[in-house]
A and B are shown apart, each in its own frame.
Chain A
Amino acid sequence: MSKPVKERERIVVRFAGDSGDGMQLTGDRFTSATAVLGNDLATLPDFPAEIRAPAGTVHGVSAFQIQFASSDITTPGDHADVLVAMNPAALKADLETVARGGVLVLNEDSFTQRNIEKAGYTADPTQDGTLDGYQVYKVPMTSITVRATEDIGIGKKEAERAKNLFALGLVSWMFGRPTETTLGWLEKKFGSRQEIFDANVAAFKAGYHFGETTELFAESYKVEAAPQAPGTYRNIDGATALAWGLIAASQRSGLPLLYASYPITPASELLHELSRHKNFGVVTIQAEDEIAAANIALGAAFSGQLAVTGTSGPGVDLKAETVGLAVIMELPMIIVDVQRAGPSTGMPTKTEQADLLLAMYGRHGESPLPIVAASTSSECFSAAIEAARIAVRYRTPVILLSDTFLANSSEPWQIPDVENLPEIDPAFATPNGADFLPYSRDDKLARPWAVPGTPGLVHRIGGLERQDGTGNISYDAANHELMTRLRQAKVDGIADDIPPLDVEDPSGGADLLVLGWGSSLGTITASVARARANGQKVATAHLRHLNPFPANTGEVVRKYPKVLIPEMNMGQLAALIRAKFLVDAQSYTKVQGLPIFAEELEREIARVLDE
């Protein structure tokens, strides 16, 4: 006798536990199964800053949130419909994320007096009314897992550790997720270690059967597959997408990729991922510091490679002088900034988008460079290729902005056909018998890229101001003004080489334009959809090029009576838009280390329209 199944359009599930409880793994596996089933999805891993805070404390809670639906969704959800809490600390930390009336699945075995106190509760929250208004399910996950694995020859600690697979099994049953994906993955990962494999499978199945069999859960849910255009898909996170985009740019340009960086949260994954692909000719160098990384990349750029250095905010600070050198040397180089909450050390594992003005102005002197920003996890792939295209074509360093949220969260991605990816032509300088002029320029104001080893093009470059054309050191007054303006004009001219800003305005006469950049896209899409459903006339536009802006940007922002710019900073894009276009753009700012939520932006849109 099977239980009734309720259909839902969308669900937000959040897994939370101790850092050592395997919540990220559980979340990843649930995501895989969900992707295979065909739901649209978005994920948000929520890591603590410390590697292993004291077990059972709120500081060590690690969570993974996923929203999945039978329709198009663009955010991981403002609130959780279901919270799986592996211990009291997880409950304490994450209860506030759960929607009113939401489901709480608690690991009953871990709600001991000691753990309850360690979490900072004065009394047992399951007894004292704290959880009134939620649907609470207390499941003895640890003890069932231990019992399920008792015939397999592993120790008690190992057995207890498998409780995350129990949780995964239970939640997989709750939402009708296919089990083959998880079982297949376990086989691949643990197939060679029989006992570990058997224990994890047993735990997973125990969780699944628990849901199916016990009377605790009266019903399960199903969320149908979302309509997707024909094609082949995979789930991808921003870090992987960005790394693969760089490899794609290397392949499509014929330039060997050299990635030099220094480990820093949340950019280290780029280094790890790229370091695995040596059979693509990718050289990765873990430099002694951030500045060395930038200089090693710049030296490789001089030598004719696709040179990249990746970091987060603190590293961009350190690289500033070197990036300025790249600007005056006019060499192609990509600086990836995976933004995180600042200032200074800030909150290393929390997201923010507050490095825009740093990217624009963060070098002394007049030091312009192009800026590209990814808007979704999967878009990190094409953003990387675009950054490479601009860097190579214009012989310039380019700053590519991503953020913690994009890097860590994942979504389905229609895999592009490699043949359709843009080609990039390095157009190296070749000797033509005449004297070589390293600072001559083509119609895009780009100078020749003359690579050491090439006869007939021997020249010297450096950080001192150089004479237009010859590239000799020059202190001439008129020359410095000319070169300063040329460097600016070169970057400005890129506006003719990028797509116009696309505006979506179904009403045709919107009263408000919501303008965004970076990872706020998902939230803007969701909140504006709700606003439109409420009859409001709202237009949206999203910038992927922050310098230069697309050529029609001024026209766009001047067209609407009101312009609202939501950002996870104190109004940085707004400052640029206001300064350049003299429009009274309004900011909605959030600096909490969290994405902007759709419902808070929906409220703000309504408020602004009412003004």
Chain B
Amino acid sequence: MSDVVQNGGQAPGDAAPTLTKKDFTSDQEPRWCPGCGDYAILSTVQAFMPELGIEPHKTVFVSGIGCSGRFSYYMDTYGMHGIHGRAPALATGIAVANPELSVWVVTGDGDGLSLGGNHLIHALRRNVDIKILLFNNQIYGLTKGQYSPTSEEGKVTKSTPFGSVDHPFNPIALALGVEATFVARTLDNDRQHLTEVLRRAAQHKGTAFVEIYQNCNVFNDGAFDLLREKSQGKHNQIRLEEGQPIVFDDGNRCVRIGDNGRYEIAATAETEPASIVVHDPHGRPSLAFALAHLSHGPDEPSAIGVFHEIERPVYGQAIQHQLQAATERLGAGDLGALLHSGDTWTVE
């Protein structure tokens, strides 16, 4: 179904580069904890990238600080391992400077939603042509187990031995709230679903925000078990498919328009077919927002897939248009003329 270009960047007549997973795999051995969800994500991303037909030297991975931050070292592309929370800003500079590059940001719930929150929301608002993968494990792994802005209330951790009094973000709702043009959620070890979401994100023009539920088996094991297909997913994953009525749990449950126009989960058998919501990621984000709020978190049935997908002018392109328009109107800049502009006087 994808219409991905296999021939990206090549002149007609040139042989298309046959890229493989190996081309995107660096010689550095990943050092995450055994069993970490990051391994699955890494493998899936490495396997997916050849499909874009964009060569590794035209690809940049920018990561921040956290376990997710190590990701850029394992991709055999250009990469920047930046400081905590600043990856979207670094990536903005890269993407604006060279719009030909395929720019990816790897961040986490701490790096992206705590210290880096401000840069994340502005990158989404600006619609910079970068793809943001946020590994949400609902914990701070690298620093050994403090709670994060997505941890549930009451969570007992190293820094909250009496339980956290913080209320968590809803990352999907947050992204929608800051005008993101592409918002999706997927799971670390659902290779097929993750690949499909990456594909949609890569095709999107502008910023793509992808939340990936990722298991930290050392500090927060099992946070997403309710949604895992192998064990219980079929019952609790609400898979969003464009144009399809939203039903799950083997069709036994659905999302319907309830009282006051609010969306709710109900038994399909007790629901008028006409009131079952049909998913449409385009248009205004209110539908997506309601879907994001169907659950309070991954300990309840939750939606996954592409929530929202619209087109808006892309930041870097808008900048380039302005440069071109200015040059057309004023002529290419002449430094000598600039220095001599305004009042001058000559001494003989």
**A277 to B346, Cβ gap below 8 A?**
no
Chain B residue contacts of A278, Cβ below 8 A: 322-323, 325-327
Whether A464 sits at the interface, judged by CB under 8 Å, is yes
**A452 to B58, Cβ gap below 8 A?**
yes
Kindly identify, within residues 50 to 75 of chain B, every residue whose CB is under 8 Å from any CB belonging to chain A.
Answer: 55-58, 60-62, 72-73, 75
Whether A509 sits at the interface, judged by CB under 8 Å, is no
> Nearest CB to that of B63 among chain A residues?
A462
Interface size on A, residues (CB 8 A): 66
> Nearest CB to that of B93 among chain A residues?
A299
Whether B122 sits at the interface, judged by CB under 8 Å, is yes
Chain A residue contacts of B333, Cβ below 8 A: 247, 251, 277, 279-281
How many A-B pairs fall under 8 Å by CB?
Answer: 192
Q: How far is the CA of A232 from the CA of B326 in the complex (A)?
A: 28
Chain A residue contacts of B5, Cβ below 8 A: none
**B57 to A455, Cβ gap below 8 A?**
yes
**A464 to B90, Cβ gap below 8 A?**
no
- Closest-CB distance, B130 to chain A (whole angstroms): 10
**Which of A82-90, A125-133, A290-298 makes up part of the contact surface?**
A290-298
Chain A residue contacts of B95, Cβ below 8 A: 299
Whether A416 sits at the interface, judged by CB under 8 Å, is yes
**B78 to A279, Cβ gap below 8 A?**
no
Chain B residue contacts of A459, Cβ below 8 A: 78-79
Q: How far is the CA of A461 from the CA of B82 in the complex (A)?
A: 8
Chain B residue contacts of A415, Cβ below 8 A: 339-340, 344
Chain B residue contacts of A298, Cβ below 8 A: 82, 90, 93
Chain B residue contacts of A153, Cβ below 8 A: none
Chain B residue contacts of A287, Cβ below 8 A: 89, 122
Chain A residue contacts of B183, Cβ below 8 A: none
**A230 to B93, Cβ gap below 8 A?**
no
Whether B270 sits at the interface, judged by CB under 8 Å, is no
Chain B residue contacts of A292, Cβ below 8 A: 86, 89, 92, 118-119, 122
Q: How far is the CA of A173 from the CA of B344 in the complex (A)?
A: 22
**A288 to B93, Cβ gap below 8 A?**
no
Q: How far is the CA of A578 from the CA of B73 in the complex (A)?
A: 45
Kindly identify, within residues 253 to 305 of chain B, every residue whose CB is under 8 Å from any CB belonging to chain A.
Answer: none
Chain A residue contacts of B86, Cβ below 8 A: 291-292, 295, 322
Residue among B28, B76, B89, B100 making CB contact with A458, cutoff 8 Å: B76
- Closest-CB distance, B107 to chain A (whole angstroms): 13
Chain B residue contacts of A299, Cβ below 8 A: 62, 80, 89-95, 97
Chain B residue contacts of A295, Cβ below 8 A: 82, 86, 89-90, 92-93, 119
With A291-B89, A462-B72 known as contacts, the answer to whether A325 contacts B118 (CB < 8 A) is: no
Chain A residue contacts of B72, Cβ below 8 A: 460, 462
Chain A residue contacts of B79, Cβ below 8 A: 459-462
* Tier of interface size on chain B: 35 or more
**A418 to B336, Cβ gap below 8 A?**
yes
With A251-B335, A260-B93, A322-B86 known as contacts, the answer to whether A231 contacts B101 (CB < 8 A) is: no
**B119 to A453, Cβ gap below 8 A?**
no
Whether A32 sits at the interface, judged by CB under 8 Å, is yes
**A304 to B82, Cβ gap below 8 A?**
no
**A247 to B119, Cβ gap below 8 A?**
no
Chain A residue contacts of B83, Cβ below 8 A: 321-322, 325, 463
Kindly identify, within residues 208 to 252 of chain A, every residue whose CB is under 8 Å from any CB belonging to chain B.
Answer: 228-235, 244, 247-248, 251
**A462 to B76, Cβ gap below 8 A?**
no
> Nearest CB to that of B26 among chain A residues?
A460
**A247 to B80, Cβ gap below 8 A?**
no
Chain A residue contacts of B97, Cβ below 8 A: 256, 258, 283, 299-300, 303-305
Whether A472 sits at the interface, judged by CB under 8 Å, is yes
**A288 to B344, Cβ gap below 8 A?**
no
Chain A residue contacts of B93, Cβ below 8 A: 258, 260, 295-303, 307
> Nearest CB to that of A289 among chain B residues?
B118
Q: How far is the CA of A454 from the CA of B56 in the complex (A)?
A: 10
**B339 to A452, Cβ gap below 8 A?**
no
Chain B residue contacts of A322, Cβ below 8 A: 83, 86
Kindly identify, within residues 11 to 67 of chain B, every residue whose CB is under 8 Å from any CB belonging to chain A.
Answer: 26, 28, 55-58, 60-62
**B80 to A233, Cβ gap below 8 A?**
no
Q: How far is the CA of A329 from the CA of B336 in the complex (A)?
A: 35
- Closest-CB distance, B344 to chain A (whole angstroms): 5
Whether A571 sits at the interface, judged by CB under 8 Å, is no
Chain B residue contacts of A251, Cβ below 8 A: 333, 335
With A302-B94, A452-B57 known as contacts, the answer to whether A464 contacts B81 (CB < 8 A) is: yes
- Closest-CB distance, A192 to chain B (whole angstroms): 19
Kindly identify, within residues 114 to 134 of chain A, every residue whose CB is under 8 Å from any CB belonging to chain B.
Answer: none
- Closest-CB distance, B70 to chain A (whole angstroms): 9
Q: List 6 A-B contacts (CB under 8 A).
A: A36-B343, A232-B345, A258-B96, A260-B93, A302-B90, A303-B97
Minimum-distance CB pairs A-B, first 5:
A299-B93, A462-B81, A280-B333, A295-B89, A278-B326
CB within 8 Å of B: which residues of A?
Answer: 32, 35-36, 38, 181, 228-235, 244, 247-248, 251, 256, 258, 260, 277-281, 283, 285, 287-289, 291-292, 295-305, 307, 321-322, 325, 329, 415-416, 418, 452-464, 472-473
CB within 8 Å of A: which residues of B?
Answer: 26, 28, 55-58, 60-62, 72-73, 75-83, 86, 89-98, 100-101, 118-119, 122, 319, 322-323, 325-327, 329-333, 335-336, 338-340, 342-348
Q: A300-B96, A325-B82, A416-B339 are in contact. List 19 more A-B contacts (CB 8 A).
A: A230-B347, A231-B347, A232-B347, A281-B323, A287-B122, A288-B119, A295-B119, A296-B92, A296-B96, A299-B90, A299-B92, A300-B94, A302-B93, A415-B339, A418-B339, A453-B58, A455-B57, A458-B78, A472-B28
